Chains A and B, each alone.
Chain A
Amino acid sequence: MTLAAQLAEADRLRDLFAARDAVIVQTDVLQPADTLLDLYGEDIRGRSYLTSDPARGEMVLRPDFTVPVVQMHMQSHADPARYTYAGKVFRKQDSDPDRLSEFVQVGYEVFDGVNPALADAEVFAAIRDALGDLPLRAATGDIGILMAAVAGLRTSDARKAALARHIWRPRRFRALLDRFGGRSPVPPTRAALLAASDPFAHAGPDIGKRSRAEVADRIATLRDDAATPPISEEELALLDTLTGLRETSDHVLSQLRDIAVDMPAIGPAVTRLSARLDALEDHGVDIATLEFEGSYGRTSLEYYDGFVFGFYAADPNLPPVATGGRYDALTARLGDGNAVPAVGGVIRPDLVLTVRGMA
């Protein structure tokens, strides 16, 4: 497949989005790295091409359009606003060198705070319509439900914050849950530390920027935690059910309504899911066949915090042809607390052509 063919397909997709009243925007390929590094830390170093410029500092070849488009939107203050773009993004493929390290993405982003459920459905439908009749399977999830469940646990704020921080790292999330639930034993060194009459007796020299006061603060946090009763088996079981959900959307909705009886904190999130499914039906999506996975989107870069979706070809070796989701928290971080509800999705035209060629 030639680059010309890819770019022609990219233009076609972008024009489809532009016809939905989206403004066509462009961003620089070379972006300042500090914002991305602050947001994603080492993950972005592992996945992006960083380069240093003596005058401009550390720069990065754009790994996606979302961050620059959000920044652009923050300056324009338009509301509601729709944007579309097409261009190359660059990703290191350290663990899988067979995957492309540069490819074209076409995106559609909606900033609309009036009705998030409608905006979610609008983006999903726009991507689906652009993909046309390609033989693809759609997968969906909703990270907002798990976030609401964590926020509603009957335990300390410190534990809830620790769990919320690791929603996007399922293994650490699980390890924390096992400890907070009393399923895994307290590490012996921690038990010894909390039992010591003077924890600093063998502390060694105070070096580095993390002060003794900070260490003492953490010991106090650990003491509080040790005095906090374990998260109940009942709540642990409910979380297991939530993260293990894998069903068609209509069934998931009724299961979640059942769970919400025991876990009222997820009520508003379930209501949002219900409104979204209604809106999807209005766009002609059959929710009786639309898959929903409780843990979908948890291992992507940690910016999706609500509705998440992807479109997949039958070949499991092919990356998803399209992905997207809601990223309200990202806009809050980039806007210094001024969140703008936002949802968007991207399509890879090269994969569209590949799947069309196989069909």
Chain B
Amino acid sequence: MLKLGVPSKGRLMEKTFQWFGNRGVTLRKSGSEREYAGAVEGIDGVELVLLSAGEIPRELAAGRIQMGVTGSDLVREKLVNWEKTVREVAPLGFGGADLIIAVPQAWVDVDTLDDLDAAAAAFRARHGHRLRIATKYHRLVRDFLKQAGVADYALIDSQGATEGTVKNETAEAIADITSTGETLRANGLKILSDGMIHASQATLFRTSRRDWSTEQRRTFKALEARLGL
């Protein structure tokens, strides 16, 4: 069996079902609405596993599923050396969102990472602590800021309502996912012009075929053909 992990609820699930459906592979929840079991029609040898989108990267890395649909941001955040662990089969063209760095609009002096770095230095000297950036994407943000040579900041964990942390003074800036920027603007924030960390979208991933059985490889080939990849 080739196990395919798909987000277990919401728009991401519906859009994924649609994407596969448009290509002749029907995915659906089996049994009742509350049950996380799935059924696949239109191809043999594929088993649908419904999981939380956030768990799919780990399940791929552990080899418990061979294919999975999740955000490209989650794979990069959660897997060390993700390129060595999984391959991108196809971007699915939905679930698009950008991981960006945003600061208060009132910071008229800050538009680039260079400005952010200088503001962080002055902020630390004045307030005695590092400039705090609220995020849940610790690894992606840290790597990005390290690459850019930004110093004197600290990441603060925020698992939700991140845009509100600045107003609440638990952080001075944020690094978060946004699709339209609407919520950012409503919260008095703006995006740094060179603060794009990753343009994410829902993506079909697979594990390395090295560990697959002959049957799994054959099924994958058939699936690829069916999906027109």
Q: Chain A interface (Cβ within 8 Å of chain B)?
A: 37, 41-43, 45-46, 94-95, 97, 162, 165-166, 169, 171-173, 175, 179, 187, 189-190, 193, 199-200, 202-210, 212, 214-215, 217-219, 221-222
Q: Which residue of B lies closest to A190 (CB)?
A: B111
Which residues of A sit under 8 angstroms from B143, Cβ to Cβ?
Answer: 46
Binding site for A on B (CB under 8 A): 80-81, 104-109, 111-112, 114-115, 117-119, 121-123, 126-127, 130-131, 138-139, 142-143, 145-155, 166-167, 169, 171-172, 187-188, 190, 193
**Which residues on B sit within 8 Å (CB–CB) of A217?**
122
Query: Complex formed: what's the CA distance from A162 to B139 in Å?
Result: 26
Distance in Å: Cβ of A94 to nearest Cβ of chain B:
6
B108 pairs with A214, CB closer than 8 A: no
Q: Are B106 and A212 in touch, CB under 8 angstroms? A: yes
Residue from A42, A189, A210 within 8 A of B111 (CB atoms) = A189
For B152, list chain A residues within 8 Å (CB).
41
CB distance from B114 to the nearest CB of A (A): 7
CB contacts (< 8 Å) of B172 on chain A: these are 208-210
Q: Can you add 5 more A-B contacts, CB < 8 Å, to A43-B146, A189-B111, A214-B119?
A: A41-B153, A187-B111, A209-B127, A215-B106, A217-B122
Which of A166, A212, A215 is B151 in contact with, Cβ under 8 Å?
A: A166
Contacts of B105 on A, CB cut-off 8 Å?
202-205
A170 nearest CB neighbor, chain B only: B149
Taking chain A's interface residues, is the majority helix, strand, or loop, or is none over half, making it mixed? helix
Can you pick out 26 interface pairs between chain A and chain B where the beta carbons lie within 8 Å of each other? A42-B142, A42-B145, A42-B153, A46-B139, A165-B151, A171-B149, A175-B114, A187-B111, A189-B112, A190-B115, A193-B108, A193-B109, A203-B105, A204-B105, A204-B188, A205-B104, A205-B105, A207-B106, A207-B187, A207-B188, A210-B107, A210-B131, A210-B172, A214-B119, A214-B123, A218-B109
Give A45 to B193 CA distance when docked, in angstroms: 27
A282 nearest CB across to chain B (Å): 39
Closest Cβ–Cβ distance, residue B148 to chain A (whole Å): 7
A42 touches B155 (CB 8 A): yes
Are B149 and A210 in touch, CB under 8 angstroms?
no
Q: Which residues on the A side are within 8 Å of B107 (C-beta)?
A: 210, 215
- A136 and B53 alpha carbons, distance in the complex (Å): 49
